[in-house]
A and B are shown apart, each in its own frame.
Chain A
Amino acid sequence: MAVSTLTKAEDRTAVSHAARIQHVSKSFGRPGAQQLVLDDISLDVAPGEFVTLLGASGCGKSTLLNLVAGLDAPTVGSIETPGGRPALMFQEHALFPWLTAGKNVELALRLRGVPKSERRDEAERLLGLVRLSGAYGKRVHELSGGMRQRVALARALAQDSQLLLMDEPFAALDAITRDVLHDELTQLWHETGLSVLFVTHNVREAVRLAQRVVLLSSRPGRIAREWTVDIPQPRRIEDSDVAELSLEITEQLRGEIRRHGQH
Protein backbone atom coordinates (compact mmCIF):
# COMPACT_ATOMS: atom_id res chain seq x y z
CA MET A 1 0.00 0.00 0.00
CA ALA A 2 2.69 2.44 1.07
CA VAL A 3 4.61 1.83 -2.14
CA SER A 4 1.64 2.53 -4.38
CA THR A 5 0.91 5.77 -2.52
CA LEU A 6 4.49 6.82 -3.08
CA THR A 7 4.41 6.23 -6.81
CA LYS A 8 1.11 8.04 -6.98
CA ALA A 9 2.68 11.02 -5.21
CA GLU A 10 5.51 11.02 -7.76
CA ASP A 11 2.97 10.90 -10.58
CA ARG A 12 1.33 13.93 -9.14
CA THR A 13 4.43 16.02 -9.51
CA ALA A 14 5.22 14.59 -12.93
CA VAL A 15 1.89 15.45 -14.56
CA SER A 16 1.17 19.12 -15.08
CA HIS A 17 -2.58 18.86 -14.52
CA ALA A 18 -5.06 16.73 -12.61
CA ALA A 19 -7.80 17.61 -15.08
CA ARG A 20 -7.61 19.36 -18.42
CA ILE A 21 -10.87 20.56 -19.92
CA GLN A 22 -10.37 21.86 -23.45
CA HIS A 23 -13.01 23.71 -25.45
CA VAL A 24 -15.81 21.61 -24.07
CA SER A 25 -19.37 22.23 -25.20
CA LYS A 26 -22.39 20.19 -24.29
CA SER A 27 -25.87 20.23 -25.80
CA PHE A 28 -28.91 18.24 -24.82
CA GLY A 29 -31.97 17.35 -26.82
CA ARG A 30 -32.57 15.80 -30.20
CA PRO A 31 -30.92 17.18 -33.34
CA GLY A 32 -32.69 20.31 -34.56
CA ALA A 33 -34.00 21.27 -31.12
CA GLN A 34 -30.75 21.30 -29.23
CA GLN A 35 -30.11 23.30 -26.15
CA LEU A 36 -26.58 24.43 -25.50
CA VAL A 37 -25.76 23.94 -21.84
CA LEU A 38 -22.01 24.42 -21.79
CA ASP A 39 -20.21 26.63 -24.29
CA ASP A 40 -16.49 26.36 -24.96
CA ILE A 41 -15.24 25.69 -21.44
CA SER A 42 -11.49 25.44 -20.98
CA LEU A 43 -10.14 24.85 -17.51
CA ASP A 44 -7.08 23.20 -15.99
CA VAL A 45 -6.94 21.89 -12.47
CA ALA A 46 -3.33 21.65 -11.30
CA PRO A 47 -2.17 18.71 -9.18
CA GLY A 48 -3.04 19.44 -5.57
CA GLU A 49 -5.16 22.45 -6.49
CA PHE A 50 -8.53 23.27 -4.97
CA VAL A 51 -10.88 24.88 -7.50
CA THR A 52 -14.50 25.82 -6.95
CA LEU A 53 -16.97 26.18 -9.80
CA LEU A 54 -19.53 28.78 -8.91
CA GLY A 55 -22.70 29.70 -10.71
CA ALA A 56 -26.44 30.29 -10.51
CA SER A 57 -28.98 27.66 -11.48
CA GLY A 58 -28.80 26.59 -15.10
CA CYS A 59 -25.12 27.32 -15.52
CA GLY A 60 -24.41 23.67 -16.18
CA LYS A 61 -21.93 23.26 -13.34
CA SER A 62 -23.22 19.81 -12.42
CA THR A 63 -23.24 18.87 -16.10
CA LEU A 64 -19.59 19.85 -16.34
CA LEU A 65 -18.79 17.74 -13.29
CA ASN A 66 -20.59 14.75 -14.82
CA LEU A 67 -18.50 15.16 -17.94
CA VAL A 68 -15.28 15.23 -15.95
CA ALA A 69 -16.47 12.18 -13.99
CA GLY A 70 -17.01 10.36 -17.26
CA LEU A 71 -20.72 9.80 -16.59
CA ASP A 72 -21.51 11.64 -19.82
CA ALA A 73 -19.57 12.61 -22.93
CA PRO A 74 -18.99 16.17 -24.17
CA THR A 75 -20.59 17.16 -27.49
CA VAL A 76 -17.44 19.02 -28.51
CA GLY A 77 -14.00 19.21 -26.94
CA SER A 78 -11.93 16.92 -24.77
CA ILE A 79 -11.43 16.17 -21.11
CA GLU A 80 -8.32 14.53 -19.74
CA THR A 81 -7.93 13.16 -16.24
CA PRO A 82 -4.45 11.60 -16.19
CA GLY A 83 -4.94 10.24 -12.66
CA GLY A 84 -7.59 7.77 -13.79
CA ARG A 85 -11.30 7.79 -13.06
CA PRO A 86 -12.03 10.71 -10.71
CA ALA A 87 -13.89 10.18 -7.44
CA LEU A 88 -17.26 11.90 -7.24
CA MET A 89 -19.28 13.06 -4.25
CA PHE A 90 -22.91 14.11 -4.61
CA GLN A 91 -25.22 16.44 -2.74
CA GLU A 92 -27.02 13.35 -1.47
CA HIS A 93 -24.69 10.98 0.34
CA ALA A 94 -25.44 8.18 -2.19
CA LEU A 95 -24.32 5.56 0.30
CA PHE A 96 -25.78 2.11 -0.32
CA PRO A 97 -28.32 1.41 2.44
CA TRP A 98 -27.89 -2.37 2.19
CA LEU A 99 -24.29 -2.06 3.37
CA THR A 100 -22.81 -0.78 6.61
CA ALA A 101 -20.66 2.37 6.55
CA GLY A 102 -17.51 0.24 6.53
CA LYS A 103 -18.78 -2.07 3.79
CA ASN A 104 -19.63 0.94 1.63
CA VAL A 105 -16.00 1.96 1.81
CA GLU A 106 -14.90 -1.63 1.22
CA LEU A 107 -17.04 -1.90 -1.90
CA ALA A 108 -15.11 1.00 -3.41
CA LEU A 109 -11.85 -0.76 -2.47
CA ARG A 110 -13.10 -4.03 -3.94
CA LEU A 111 -14.12 -2.39 -7.22
CA ARG A 112 -10.69 -0.81 -7.34
CA GLY A 113 -9.11 -4.26 -7.03
CA VAL A 114 -7.76 -4.14 -3.48
CA PRO A 115 -7.29 -7.73 -2.23
CA LYS A 116 -9.77 -8.95 0.31
CA SER A 117 -7.24 -9.32 3.13
CA GLU A 118 -6.35 -5.63 3.01
CA ARG A 119 -9.84 -4.18 2.64
CA ARG A 120 -10.93 -4.19 6.26
CA ASP A 121 -7.83 -2.39 7.55
CA GLU A 122 -7.86 0.11 4.70
CA ALA A 123 -11.56 0.86 5.27
CA GLU A 124 -10.90 1.42 8.98
CA ARG A 125 -8.01 3.73 8.12
CA LEU A 126 -10.14 5.78 5.71
CA LEU A 127 -12.97 6.06 8.22
CA GLY A 128 -10.36 7.19 10.73
CA LEU A 129 -9.31 9.94 8.30
CA VAL A 130 -12.82 11.40 8.47
CA ARG A 131 -12.88 10.74 12.23
CA LEU A 132 -15.48 8.01 12.12
CA SER A 133 -13.41 5.13 13.47
CA GLY A 134 -16.32 3.80 15.48
CA ALA A 135 -18.78 3.83 12.60
CA TYR A 136 -17.57 0.77 10.67
CA GLY A 137 -20.54 -1.43 11.57
CA LYS A 138 -23.14 1.33 11.54
CA ARG A 139 -26.00 1.27 9.05
CA VAL A 140 -26.45 4.33 6.87
CA HIS A 141 -29.78 5.27 8.45
CA GLU A 142 -28.18 5.24 11.89
CA LEU A 143 -25.83 8.07 10.93
CA SER A 144 -26.55 11.80 10.97
CA GLY A 145 -26.44 13.83 7.76
CA GLY A 146 -22.94 15.12 8.46
CA MET A 147 -21.66 11.63 9.29
CA ARG A 148 -23.14 10.24 6.08
CA GLN A 149 -21.31 12.84 4.02
CA ARG A 150 -18.09 11.97 5.85
CA VAL A 151 -18.56 8.28 5.08
CA ALA A 152 -19.25 9.29 1.46
CA LEU A 153 -16.00 11.24 1.55
CA ALA A 154 -14.16 8.20 2.92
CA ARG A 155 -15.69 6.09 0.14
CA ALA A 156 -14.56 8.65 -2.45
CA LEU A 157 -11.05 8.59 -0.97
CA ALA A 158 -11.11 4.79 -1.20
CA GLN A 159 -11.02 5.13 -4.97
CA ASP A 160 -7.47 6.43 -4.53
CA SER A 161 -8.03 8.86 -7.36
CA GLN A 162 -5.90 11.99 -7.67
CA LEU A 163 -8.94 14.08 -8.46
CA LEU A 164 -11.93 14.50 -6.20
CA LEU A 165 -15.08 15.97 -7.76
CA MET A 166 -17.67 17.35 -5.37
CA ASP A 167 -21.16 18.31 -6.49
CA GLU A 168 -22.56 20.62 -3.79
CA PRO A 169 -21.77 17.99 -1.17
CA PHE A 170 -22.69 20.13 1.82
CA ALA A 171 -25.72 21.94 0.41
CA ALA A 172 -28.24 19.79 2.29
CA LEU A 173 -26.52 20.11 5.68
CA ASP A 174 -27.29 22.55 8.45
CA ALA A 175 -24.98 25.55 8.78
CA ILE A 176 -23.12 24.32 11.86
CA THR A 177 -22.36 20.91 10.38
CA ARG A 178 -21.39 22.46 7.06
CA ASP A 179 -18.94 24.76 8.80
CA VAL A 180 -17.29 21.81 10.55
CA LEU A 181 -17.12 19.84 7.32
CA HIS A 182 -15.42 22.79 5.62
CA ASP A 183 -12.66 22.52 8.23
CA GLU A 184 -12.55 18.78 7.77
CA LEU A 185 -12.27 18.99 4.00
CA THR A 186 -9.59 21.68 4.13
CA GLN A 187 -7.56 19.56 6.50
CA LEU A 188 -7.97 16.39 4.42
CA TRP A 189 -6.98 18.28 1.30
CA HIS A 190 -3.80 19.46 3.02
CA GLU A 191 -3.02 15.95 4.26
CA THR A 192 -3.68 14.05 1.05
CA GLY A 193 -2.52 16.54 -1.58
CA LEU A 194 -5.60 15.74 -3.67
CA SER A 195 -6.85 17.97 -6.44
CA VAL A 196 -10.41 19.06 -5.80
CA LEU A 197 -12.99 20.41 -8.21
CA PHE A 198 -15.87 21.61 -6.06
CA VAL A 199 -19.20 22.80 -7.45
CA THR A 200 -21.38 25.14 -5.40
CA HIS A 201 -23.82 28.02 -5.64
CA ASN A 202 -22.73 29.32 -2.26
CA VAL A 203 -20.24 32.17 -2.80
CA ARG A 204 -18.92 32.19 0.77
CA GLU A 205 -18.37 28.46 0.67
CA ALA A 206 -16.45 28.82 -2.59
CA VAL A 207 -14.19 31.50 -1.13
CA ARG A 208 -13.81 29.71 2.21
CA LEU A 209 -12.47 26.56 0.54
CA ALA A 210 -10.76 27.30 -2.73
CA GLN A 211 -7.45 28.48 -4.08
CA ARG A 212 -9.24 29.50 -7.23
CA VAL A 213 -12.89 30.41 -7.81
CA VAL A 214 -14.28 30.04 -11.33
CA LEU A 215 -17.56 31.84 -12.04
CA LEU A 216 -19.80 30.37 -14.72
CA SER A 217 -22.45 32.37 -16.51
CA SER A 218 -25.80 30.74 -17.17
CA ARG A 219 -27.53 29.46 -20.33
CA PRO A 220 -25.21 28.57 -21.83
CA GLY A 221 -22.56 28.04 -19.19
CA ARG A 222 -19.39 29.95 -20.02
CA ILE A 223 -16.49 30.89 -17.84
CA ALA A 224 -17.27 34.47 -16.85
CA ARG A 225 -14.36 35.22 -14.54
CA GLU A 226 -11.77 33.69 -12.26
CA TRP A 227 -10.38 34.77 -8.91
CA THR A 228 -7.29 33.52 -7.16
CA VAL A 229 -7.94 33.36 -3.44
CA ASP A 230 -4.74 34.05 -1.51
CA ILE A 231 -6.27 34.32 1.94
CA PRO A 232 -4.17 31.99 4.13
CA GLN A 233 -5.75 28.81 5.49
CA PRO A 234 -7.19 28.02 7.98
CA ARG A 235 -9.95 30.39 6.97
CA ARG A 236 -13.29 30.89 8.60
CA ILE A 237 -16.44 31.60 6.68
CA GLU A 238 -16.91 34.68 8.93
CA ASP A 239 -13.47 36.14 8.15
CA SER A 240 -13.53 39.69 6.85
CA ASP A 241 -11.22 38.81 3.95
CA VAL A 242 -13.57 36.01 2.94
CA ALA A 243 -16.55 38.35 3.27
CA GLU A 244 -14.88 41.03 1.19
CA LEU A 245 -14.03 38.78 -1.73
CA SER A 246 -17.44 37.09 -1.46
CA LEU A 247 -19.07 40.48 -1.84
CA GLU A 248 -17.10 41.21 -4.98
CA ILE A 249 -17.92 37.83 -6.51
CA THR A 250 -21.57 38.11 -5.53
CA GLU A 251 -21.81 41.47 -7.33
CA GLN A 252 -20.43 39.87 -10.48
CA LEU A 253 -22.77 36.89 -10.09
CA ARG A 254 -25.76 39.21 -9.70
CA GLY A 255 -24.70 41.02 -12.85
CA GLU A 256 -24.65 37.70 -14.71
CA ILE A 257 -28.12 36.82 -13.41
CA ARG A 258 -29.51 40.30 -14.27
CA ARG A 259 -28.48 39.91 -17.90
CA HIS A 260 -31.03 37.09 -18.20
CA GLY A 261 -33.89 39.32 -17.14
CA GLN A 262 -33.17 41.90 -19.80
CA HIS A 263 -34.37 40.17 -22.94
Chain B
Amino acid sequence: MASTKTSTETSASKDQDGAAGLSGLAGLEAGLDALETSVTARTPRSEIFRNKIVPPVVAIALVLVVWQALTWAHVVDPYKLPSPSAVWAEVRTAWLQGTLFDYIWTSLWRGISGFLLALIIGTPLGLLVARVRFVRAAIGPILSGLQSLPSVAWVPPAVLWLGLNDSMMYAVILLGAVPSIANGLVAGVDQVPPLFLRAGRTLGATGARGTWHIVMPAALPGYLAGLKQGWAFSWRSLMAAEIIASSPELGIGLGQLLENGRTNSSMSMVFLAIFLILIVGIAIDLLVFSPLERRVLRSRGLLGRS
Protein backbone atom coordinates (compact mmCIF):
# COMPACT_ATOMS: atom_id res chain seq x y z
CA MET B 1 0.00 0.00 0.00
CA ALA B 2 2.55 2.48 1.13
CA SER B 3 4.77 2.00 -1.91
CA THR B 4 1.91 2.59 -4.36
CA LYS B 5 1.01 5.77 -2.58
CA THR B 6 4.59 7.03 -2.77
CA SER B 7 4.89 6.31 -6.46
CA THR B 8 1.69 8.21 -7.31
CA GLU B 9 2.93 11.14 -5.29
CA THR B 10 6.23 11.15 -7.13
CA SER B 11 4.61 11.08 -10.54
CA ALA B 12 2.16 13.80 -9.46
CA SER B 13 4.99 16.05 -8.38
CA LYS B 14 6.81 15.28 -11.62
CA ASP B 15 3.79 16.35 -13.67
CA GLN B 16 3.58 19.49 -11.65
CA ASP B 17 7.24 20.13 -12.26
CA GLY B 18 6.81 19.57 -15.95
CA ALA B 19 3.91 22.03 -16.08
CA ALA B 20 5.46 24.66 -13.86
CA GLY B 21 8.85 23.93 -15.48
CA LEU B 22 11.12 26.90 -15.25
CA SER B 23 9.37 28.85 -12.53
CA GLY B 24 9.25 25.79 -10.27
CA LEU B 25 12.99 25.27 -10.44
CA ALA B 26 13.74 28.97 -10.23
CA GLY B 27 11.56 29.33 -7.15
CA LEU B 28 13.22 26.34 -5.53
CA GLU B 29 16.67 27.71 -6.17
CA ALA B 30 15.75 31.17 -4.96
CA GLY B 31 14.48 29.58 -1.75
CA LEU B 32 17.65 27.54 -1.24
CA ASP B 33 19.83 30.57 -1.93
CA ALA B 34 17.90 32.63 0.60
CA LEU B 35 18.14 29.88 3.22
CA GLU B 36 21.84 29.34 2.76
CA THR B 37 23.00 32.92 2.59
CA SER B 38 23.59 34.47 5.96
CA VAL B 39 23.41 38.19 6.47
CA THR B 40 26.29 39.69 8.40
CA ALA B 41 25.93 43.15 9.82
CA ARG B 42 28.78 45.63 10.14
CA THR B 43 30.21 46.10 13.60
CA PRO B 44 28.76 49.30 15.10
CA ARG B 45 31.16 52.21 15.60
CA SER B 46 30.66 52.32 19.36
CA GLU B 47 31.80 48.70 19.55
CA ILE B 48 34.91 49.38 17.43
CA PHE B 49 35.68 52.32 19.73
CA ARG B 50 35.26 50.19 22.85
CA ASN B 51 37.26 47.21 21.58
CA LYS B 52 39.94 48.78 19.40
CA ILE B 53 40.57 52.36 20.59
CA VAL B 54 40.07 52.29 24.35
CA PRO B 55 42.54 49.49 25.31
CA PRO B 56 45.69 50.98 23.70
CA VAL B 57 44.83 54.47 25.00
CA VAL B 58 44.50 53.08 28.52
CA ALA B 59 47.82 51.25 28.17
CA ILE B 60 49.63 54.40 27.01
CA ALA B 61 48.08 56.47 29.77
CA LEU B 62 49.18 53.88 32.32
CA VAL B 63 52.78 53.94 31.07
CA LEU B 64 52.83 57.76 31.27
CA VAL B 65 51.47 57.71 34.82
CA VAL B 66 54.08 55.17 36.00
CA TRP B 67 56.83 57.08 34.22
CA GLN B 68 55.82 60.40 35.80
CA ALA B 69 55.55 58.72 39.20
CA LEU B 70 59.06 57.30 38.86
CA THR B 71 60.55 60.72 38.08
CA TRP B 72 58.59 62.38 40.92
CA ALA B 73 59.78 59.77 43.38
CA HIS B 74 63.39 60.28 42.16
CA VAL B 75 63.83 56.53 41.89
CA VAL B 76 66.12 57.07 38.91
CA ASP B 77 68.61 59.85 38.27
CA PRO B 78 66.94 62.55 36.08
CA TYR B 79 69.94 62.34 33.73
CA LYS B 80 69.06 58.75 33.04
CA LEU B 81 65.30 59.12 33.00
CA PRO B 82 63.91 62.48 31.93
CA SER B 83 60.36 63.26 32.98
CA PRO B 84 57.56 63.09 30.38
CA SER B 85 57.27 66.86 30.64
CA ALA B 86 60.99 67.29 29.79
CA VAL B 87 60.51 65.17 26.67
CA TRP B 88 57.39 67.15 25.83
CA ALA B 89 59.41 70.36 26.18
CA GLU B 90 61.90 68.90 23.70
CA VAL B 91 59.05 68.26 21.28
CA ARG B 92 57.82 71.84 21.71
CA THR B 93 61.28 73.30 21.09
CA ALA B 94 61.76 71.24 17.96
CA TRP B 95 58.28 72.20 16.81
CA LEU B 96 58.85 75.93 17.44
CA GLN B 97 62.22 75.81 15.67
CA GLY B 98 60.46 74.11 12.78
CA THR B 99 62.90 71.22 12.81
CA LEU B 100 60.56 68.49 14.10
CA PHE B 101 59.14 67.65 10.71
CA ASP B 102 62.56 68.03 9.08
CA TYR B 103 63.90 65.25 11.29
CA ILE B 104 60.97 63.00 10.51
CA TRP B 105 60.84 63.85 6.82
CA THR B 106 64.59 63.30 6.23
CA SER B 107 64.35 59.76 7.55
CA LEU B 108 60.88 59.01 6.22
CA TRP B 109 61.83 60.08 2.71
CA ARG B 110 64.90 57.83 2.76
CA GLY B 111 62.88 54.99 4.24
CA ILE B 112 60.03 55.24 1.74
CA SER B 113 62.15 55.68 -1.39
CA GLY B 114 64.50 52.92 -0.24
CA PHE B 115 61.53 50.66 0.41
CA LEU B 116 60.00 51.38 -3.00
CA LEU B 117 63.34 50.60 -4.63
CA ALA B 118 63.47 47.33 -2.65
CA LEU B 119 59.94 46.61 -3.88
CA ILE B 120 60.96 47.12 -7.49
CA ILE B 121 63.95 44.80 -7.11
CA GLY B 122 62.46 42.28 -4.68
CA THR B 123 59.25 41.53 -6.60
CA PRO B 124 60.73 40.21 -9.86
CA LEU B 125 63.48 38.51 -7.87
CA GLY B 126 60.91 36.71 -5.70
CA LEU B 127 58.89 35.72 -8.75
CA LEU B 128 61.99 34.35 -10.43
CA VAL B 129 62.99 32.33 -7.37
CA ALA B 130 59.44 31.03 -6.94
CA ARG B 131 58.85 30.04 -10.55
CA VAL B 132 62.25 29.02 -11.96
CA ARG B 133 63.56 25.85 -10.39
CA PHE B 134 67.21 26.50 -11.22
CA VAL B 135 67.16 30.01 -9.74
CA ARG B 136 65.45 28.68 -6.66
CA ALA B 137 68.05 25.98 -6.11
CA ALA B 138 70.82 28.49 -6.78
CA ILE B 139 69.86 31.45 -4.62
CA GLY B 140 66.79 30.43 -2.62
CA PRO B 141 68.70 29.32 0.51
CA ILE B 142 70.99 32.37 0.37
CA LEU B 143 68.00 34.65 0.10
CA SER B 144 66.29 33.19 3.16
CA GLY B 145 69.64 33.10 5.00
CA LEU B 146 70.15 36.80 4.34
CA GLN B 147 66.96 37.49 6.27
CA SER B 148 68.56 36.35 9.50
CA LEU B 149 71.61 38.57 8.98
CA PRO B 150 71.09 41.83 10.91
CA SER B 151 71.33 44.51 8.26
CA VAL B 152 73.40 46.69 10.59
CA ALA B 153 76.22 44.34 9.61
CA TRP B 154 76.11 45.89 6.15
CA VAL B 155 76.83 49.41 7.42
CA PRO B 156 80.64 49.14 7.67
CA PRO B 157 81.13 47.62 4.20
CA ALA B 158 78.59 50.03 2.70
CA VAL B 159 80.50 53.01 4.15
CA LEU B 160 83.77 51.67 2.76
CA TRP B 161 82.29 50.95 -0.67
CA LEU B 162 80.11 54.00 -1.15
CA GLY B 163 81.33 56.57 1.38
CA LEU B 164 79.25 58.61 3.79
CA ASN B 165 76.33 59.55 1.58
CA ASP B 166 72.74 58.73 0.72
CA SER B 167 73.70 55.87 -1.63
CA MET B 168 75.23 54.07 1.32
CA MET B 169 71.94 54.45 3.24
CA TYR B 170 69.96 53.06 0.31
CA ALA B 171 72.38 50.17 -0.07
CA VAL B 172 71.82 49.19 3.57
CA ILE B 173 68.03 49.50 3.20
CA LEU B 174 68.03 47.35 0.07
CA LEU B 175 70.16 44.65 1.63
CA GLY B 176 67.74 44.57 4.54
CA ALA B 177 64.44 44.76 2.70
CA VAL B 178 64.92 42.96 -0.64
CA PRO B 179 65.30 39.47 0.90
CA SER B 180 62.15 39.98 3.01
CA ILE B 181 60.06 41.10 0.08
CA ALA B 182 61.36 38.35 -2.21
CA ASN B 183 60.91 35.67 0.44
CA GLY B 184 57.40 36.86 1.20
CA LEU B 185 56.49 36.51 -2.44
CA VAL B 186 58.10 33.07 -2.66
CA ALA B 187 56.13 31.92 0.39
CA GLY B 188 52.96 33.40 -1.12
CA VAL B 189 53.48 31.62 -4.44
CA ASP B 190 54.26 28.33 -2.68
CA GLN B 191 50.97 28.53 -0.83
CA VAL B 192 48.85 29.01 -3.94
CA PRO B 193 46.46 26.01 -4.00
CA PRO B 194 47.26 23.75 -7.00
CA LEU B 195 43.53 23.75 -7.77
CA PHE B 196 43.72 27.44 -8.75
CA LEU B 197 46.58 26.70 -11.13
CA ARG B 198 44.65 23.84 -12.72
CA ALA B 199 41.49 25.92 -12.97
CA GLY B 200 43.56 28.72 -14.51
CA ARG B 201 45.08 26.38 -17.05
CA THR B 202 41.70 25.05 -18.16
CA LEU B 203 40.60 28.66 -18.65
CA GLY B 204 43.66 29.30 -20.79
CA ALA B 205 45.80 31.17 -18.26
CA THR B 206 49.23 29.70 -18.95
CA GLY B 207 52.71 31.21 -18.92
CA ALA B 208 52.83 34.97 -18.32
CA ARG B 209 49.02 35.21 -18.37
CA GLY B 210 48.85 32.55 -15.68
CA THR B 211 51.38 34.46 -13.57
CA TRP B 212 49.50 37.73 -13.97
CA HIS B 213 45.91 36.52 -13.60
CA ILE B 214 46.30 33.60 -11.22
CA VAL B 215 49.66 33.30 -9.43
CA MET B 216 50.17 36.94 -8.43
CA PRO B 217 46.68 37.61 -7.08
CA ALA B 218 46.60 34.22 -5.36
CA ALA B 219 49.97 34.95 -3.72
CA LEU B 220 48.96 38.46 -2.64
CA PRO B 221 48.42 37.73 1.08
CA GLY B 222 51.92 36.23 1.44
CA TYR B 223 53.37 39.02 -0.67
CA LEU B 224 51.77 41.66 1.54
CA ALA B 225 53.16 39.97 4.65
CA GLY B 226 56.57 40.14 2.98
CA LEU B 227 56.10 43.84 2.18
CA LYS B 228 55.15 44.57 5.76
CA GLN B 229 58.24 42.81 7.02
CA GLY B 230 60.26 44.48 4.28
CA TRP B 231 59.17 47.90 5.52
CA ALA B 232 60.10 46.99 9.11
CA PHE B 233 63.52 45.88 7.90
CA SER B 234 63.96 49.03 5.78
CA TRP B 235 63.17 51.25 8.72
CA ARG B 236 65.41 49.37 11.13
CA SER B 237 68.38 49.24 8.78
CA LEU B 238 67.97 52.91 7.97
CA MET B 239 68.04 53.84 11.66
CA ALA B 240 71.16 51.73 12.17
CA ALA B 241 72.81 53.39 9.19
CA GLU B 242 71.87 56.88 10.38
CA ILE B 243 73.18 56.29 13.89
CA ILE B 244 76.50 54.87 12.77
CA ALA B 245 77.16 57.05 9.75
CA SER B 246 76.57 60.67 10.59
CA SER B 247 77.99 63.42 8.48
CA PRO B 248 76.99 67.08 8.09
CA GLU B 249 76.02 66.63 4.41
CA LEU B 250 73.53 63.94 5.27
CA GLY B 251 71.18 66.27 7.16
CA ILE B 252 69.63 65.33 10.46
CA GLY B 253 67.30 62.37 10.38
CA LEU B 254 65.90 60.53 13.37
CA GLY B 255 68.98 58.31 13.70
CA GLN B 256 71.29 61.32 13.77
CA LEU B 257 68.98 63.01 16.25
CA LEU B 258 69.39 60.04 18.54
CA GLU B 259 73.16 60.09 18.10
CA ASN B 260 73.26 63.88 18.71
CA GLY B 261 71.28 63.36 21.89
CA ARG B 262 73.85 60.85 23.07
CA THR B 263 76.87 63.06 22.27
CA ASN B 264 75.17 66.05 23.96
CA SER B 265 74.20 63.88 26.94
CA SER B 266 70.62 65.05 26.44
CA MET B 267 68.49 62.17 27.56
CA SER B 268 65.29 64.01 26.65
CA MET B 269 66.54 64.35 23.06
CA VAL B 270 67.39 60.65 23.00
CA PHE B 271 63.90 59.84 24.23
CA LEU B 272 62.36 62.17 21.68
CA ALA B 273 64.27 60.42 18.89
CA ILE B 274 63.29 56.97 20.12
CA PHE B 275 59.63 57.95 20.35
CA LEU B 276 59.64 59.47 16.89
CA ILE B 277 61.27 56.38 15.40
CA LEU B 278 58.68 54.20 17.11
CA ILE B 279 55.76 56.42 16.13
CA VAL B 280 56.76 56.53 12.46
CA GLY B 281 57.14 52.73 12.38
CA ILE B 282 53.75 52.21 14.01
CA ALA B 283 52.05 54.88 11.90
CA ILE B 284 53.19 53.37 8.60
CA ASP B 285 52.04 49.96 9.72
CA LEU B 286 48.72 51.27 11.00
CA LEU B 287 47.97 53.60 8.11
CA VAL B 288 49.34 51.62 5.17
CA PHE B 289 49.97 47.93 5.73
CA SER B 290 47.30 46.91 8.21
CA PRO B 291 44.39 48.41 6.24
CA LEU B 292 45.78 46.93 3.02
CA GLU B 293 46.18 43.50 4.58
CA ARG B 294 42.77 43.60 6.22
CA ARG B 295 41.13 44.65 2.97
CA VAL B 296 42.73 41.81 1.03
CA LEU B 297 41.91 39.19 3.66
CA ARG B 298 38.37 40.42 4.19
CA SER B 299 37.56 40.47 0.49
CA ARG B 300 38.61 36.81 0.35
CA GLY B 301 36.64 35.87 3.42
CA LEU B 302 39.84 34.99 5.28
CA LEU B 303 39.32 37.42 8.13
CA GLY B 304 37.17 36.15 10.97
CA ARG B 305 35.07 38.77 12.68
CA SER B 306 36.77 39.68 15.89
B198 and A71: CB pair below 8 A?
Answer: yes
Partner of B209, one of A92, A111, A132, A155: A111
The stretch of A48-56, A204-212, A215-223, A233-241 in contact with B is A233-241
Q: Which of B48-56, B65-73, B199-207, B243-251 contacts A (4 or more CB under 8 A)?
A: B199-207
Contacts of A132 in B (CB 8 A): 33
Which B residues contact A (CB, under 8 angstroms)? 7, 10, 13-14, 17-18, 22, 25-26, 28-30, 32-33, 36-37, 195-196, 198-199, 201-205, 209, 213-214, 217-218, 220, 296, 299-302
Contacts of B302 in A (CB 8 A): 97
Given A142-B301, A234-B18, A131:B36 Cβ within 8 A: no
Q: Would you call A136 an interface residue if the criterion is a C-beta within 8 Å of the partner chain's C-beta atoms?
A: no
Residues of A within 8 A of B199 (CB): 88, 90, 94, 96
A240 pairs with B7, CB closer than 8 A: yes
Interface magnitude class on chain A: 35 or more
Binds B, one of A11-19, A74-82, A115-123, A177-185: A177-185
CA distance A225 to B192 in the complex (A): 39
A98 touches B217 (CB 8 A): yes
A217 CB → nearest B CB, Å: 26
Q: Which of B17, B29, B205, B300 contacts A184 (CB 8 A)?
A: B29
Which one, A88, A144, A187, contacts B32 given CB within 8 A?
A144
Mask for A94-131, Cβ within 8 A of B = 1, else 0? 10111100000001100110000000000000000001
In the bound assembly, the distance between CA atoms of A41 and B196 in angstroms comes to 28
Q: Which of B17, B32, B202, B213 has the most CB of A within 10 A?
A: B202
Bound complex: CA of A145 vs CA of B213, how far in Å? 24
B-chain residues with CB within 8 Å of residue A139 when the two chains form the complex: 299-301
Q: Which residue of A lies closest to B39 (CB)?
A: A142
Instruction: Using CB atoms and an 8 Å cutoff, list the residues of chain A in contact with chain B.
Output: 69-71, 85-88, 90, 92, 94, 96-99, 107-108, 111-112, 131-132, 139-147, 155, 159, 176-177, 180, 183-184, 187, 234, 236, 238-240
Residues of B within 8 A of A238 (CB): 10
C-alpha spacing A107/B29, complex, angstroms: 25
What B residues does A92 contact at CB under 8 A? 195
Interchain residue pairs with CB less than 8 A apart (30): A69-B202, A70-B202, A85-B202, A87-B202, A94-B199, A96-B214, A96-B217, A97-B301, A97-B302, A98-B299, A98-B300, A111-B203, A131-B26, A131-B29, A132-B33, A139-B300, A141-B300, A142-B37, A143-B37, A144-B36, A145-B36, A146-B29, A146-B36, A147-B36, A155-B203, A176-B32, A180-B32, A187-B25, A236-B13, A239-B14
